[in-house]
Chain A
Amino acid sequence: QVQLVQSGSELKKPGASVKVSCKASGYTFTSYAMNWVRQAPGQGLEWMGWINTNTGNPTYAQGFTGRFVFSLDTSVSTAYLQISSLKAEDTAVYYCARGGYCSGGSCFKGGRDYWGQGTLVTVSS
């Protein structure tokens, strides 16, 4: 069965960096896009962007450029989200979510999404 298992909670000081991992199993990792979603405390879901697991090409949503980096290690079927220069307002749960089917360098909409269990990142001095 499809599973996305994320790394554990993190407590960081302002200005530090954090790297969240999302290990996929139960399907061919490079056949589906990977999305990242943020949920601040008590708030709704916010799409951060996605990475093409065929090409490694990331796309960032508005508001998630500069300090946010998506990357892959296809040898271990794992996607990463790195956030640098952490601020208190980065405190949130971060989710990876499998997206649409990818083939020939293009990824498509649709299909059932699967979500990781979430990683709580707390930024506090």
Chain B
Amino acid sequence: NFMLTQPHSVSESPGKTVTISCTGSSGSIASNYVQWYQQRPGSAPTTVIYEDNQRPSGVPDRFSGSIDSSSNSASLTISGLKTEDEADYYCQSYDSSSHWVFGGGTKLTVL
């Protein structure tokens, strides 16, 4: 079964840059789109990156996504961290049957 692995938690200071990784268990992560969702406590997930590196309107350009085929991983980078960025972040891609697969989620603390 295809799985996506994320770090359980990351923390960084306001104004800094943080990168959250999402590693695929098999195959090539580059062969399917990767999405990133932000979920604040008590709220529904919202899309911050879709199709690997596309940013929906309304999402600040401080958020960016990328794919690294050499490590079979996707990354979400948030620059100029703000306290409002503190949330859980989930990556999502697809397995060989085109079923959605989620990473376990990463808790971002901005301290």
A residues in contact (CB < 8 Å) with B? 35, 37, 44-47, 49-50, 59, 61, 95, 97, 99, 109-118
Q: Does B102 contact A (CB under 8 A)?
A: yes
A114 to B45, Cβ gap below 8 A?
A: no
B50 to A111, Cβ gap below 8 A?
A: yes
B33 to A112, Cβ gap below 8 A?
A: no
B residues in contact (CB < 8 Å) with A? 32-33, 35, 37, 39, 44-47, 50-51, 54, 56, 90, 92, 94, 98-105
CB distance from B97 to the nearest CB of A (A): 8
Also in contact, A118 and B44, with CB within 8 A (given A45-B102, A61-B99, A112-B56): yes
* Known A37-B102, A44-B102, A110-B51; further 9 A-B contacts with Cβ < 8 A: A44-B103, A49-B99, A95-B44, A109-B94, A110-B50, A111-B50, A113-B47, A114-B47, A115-B45
Please list 20 pairs of residues, one from A and one from B, whose beta carbons are closer than 8 Å in the complex, sorted by A's number.
Answer: A37-B102, A44-B90, A44-B103, A44-B105, A45-B39, A45-B90, A45-B102, A46-B102, A47-B99, A49-B99, A50-B100, A95-B44, A95-B45, A109-B33, A109-B94, A109-B98, A110-B51, A113-B37, A115-B37, A115-B46
Q: Is the interface of B mostly helix, strand, loop or mixed?
A: strand
Query: Chain A contacts of B33 at CB under 8 A?
Result: 109-110
B105 to A45, Cβ gap below 8 A?
A: yes
